[in-house]
Amino acid sequence: MVLKTFKSDIEIIRERDPAARGIVEIFLCYPGFQSIVIHRFTHKLWQLKIPLIPRLLSHLNRLATGIEIHPGAKIGKRVFIDHGMGVVIGETAEIGNNCLLYQGVTLGGTGKSHGKRHPTLMENVVVGAGAKVLGSITVGSNTRIGAGSVVVRNVEGNSTVVGVPGRVVHQSGVKVNPLAHSALPDAEANVIRNLMDRIDALENEILKLQKILQSIASSDSIDISKLGDSQNLKDKEIFEFLGDD
């Protein structure tokens, strides 16, 4: 069982990292792999309720790899922490099979309450560099979280999350390479473009009104067709970005 898990941890690295050239290189030069191997041992000690030693080993793990994983965290098979420097995984965090985490990711807690206070990642979740997933929330299977996003709410499966705070952008029916970060939609840019178009439309309306006032001042007849219909700011794109709240 241990050997199978060890083998699967190597396989996922060779599958997802084109720079991986051999098992020896992965074993010696991949801190993400090293940290998970050490964590699997410390987690066993944690389950046996051995005091202090698991925490001490996890601290040494952080010093050696730059990755901090609490011994209480549950990590599934074929999990790859790419580069890994600055990754923090809390005590009650759970990571499903085939997940991919990049450097600077935090699976953290909120508040000082006891019990489940860290996130749960289901299978095939990709968390981009510097992203923060906080609180006792669940991120559904096959979800991708963009770099730098901050996720504080539950996320349904097969979703893409971007922004601060994280907003869900669905890509139904589109198969996306988990390594293709450039394919992530830019919700903020879309909303900014939308607002720029609105400003342009409003400026045109103001010009029309100015012409009408000039016509009134010169006692000319008013052409009602010059009055344009106002646009509704509550369009779908802005609602998706701002959320229901």
User: pLDDT, tens digit, for every residue of 125-160?
Assistant: 999 999 999 999 999 999 999 888 999 989 888 888
Q: Are 103 and 127 in contact (CB under 8 A)?
A: no
Distance of CA 210 to the CA centre of its chain: 48
149 and 165 assigned to the same domain? yes
According to the 3-state scheme, what is the secondary structure of 75-130? Answer: ECCCCEECCCCCCEECCCCEECCCCEECCCCEEECCCCCCCCCCCEECCCCEECCC
More confident residue, 222 or 64: 64
CATH of the domain at 159: 2.160.10.10
Number of domains in the chain: 2
146 and 202 assigned to the same domain? no
130 and 199 assigned to the same domain? no
**Boundaries of domain holding 49:** 2-183
Euclidean distance between CA atoms 216 and 240, whole angstroms: 42
pTM, rounded to two decimals = 0.71
The secondary structure of 130-149 as a DSSP string is T-EEESS-EE-TT-EE-TT-
90 and 148 assigned to the same domain? yes
217 and 109 assigned to the same domain? no
210 and 175 assigned to the same domain? no
160 and 201 assigned to the same domain? no
3-class SS at 168?
strand
175 and 70 assigned to the same domain? yes
97 and 172 assigned to the same domain? yes
Euclidean distance between CA atoms 39 and 45, whole angstroms: 10
198 and 177 assigned to the same domain? no
* Mean pLDDT to the nearest integer, 41-45: 94
Structure tokens at 133: 């997933």
95 and 214 assigned to the same domain? no
Task: Identify the pLDDT of residue 191.
Answer: 74
Structure tokens at 63: 């010093």
* Mean pLDDT to the nearest integer, 23-39: 90
Nearest to 237, CA basis, from 202, 177, 195, 181: 195
Peptide bond preceding 71 in cis form (omega within 30 of 0): no
Residue 173 above 50 pLDDT? no
Q: In degrees to the nearest 10, what's the CA dihedral of 89, 90, 91, 93?
A: -70
Structure tokens at 171: 């890509």
Euclidean distance between CA atoms 127 and 120, whole angstroms: 12
More confident residue, 230 or 80: 80
pLDDT tens across 48-106, in order?
999 899 999 999 999 999 999 999 999 999 999 998 899 999 999 999 999 999 999 99
147 and 198 assigned to the same domain? no
Task: Identify the pLDDT of residue 115.
Answer: 85
Q: Are 228 and 211 in contact (CB under 8 A)?
A: no
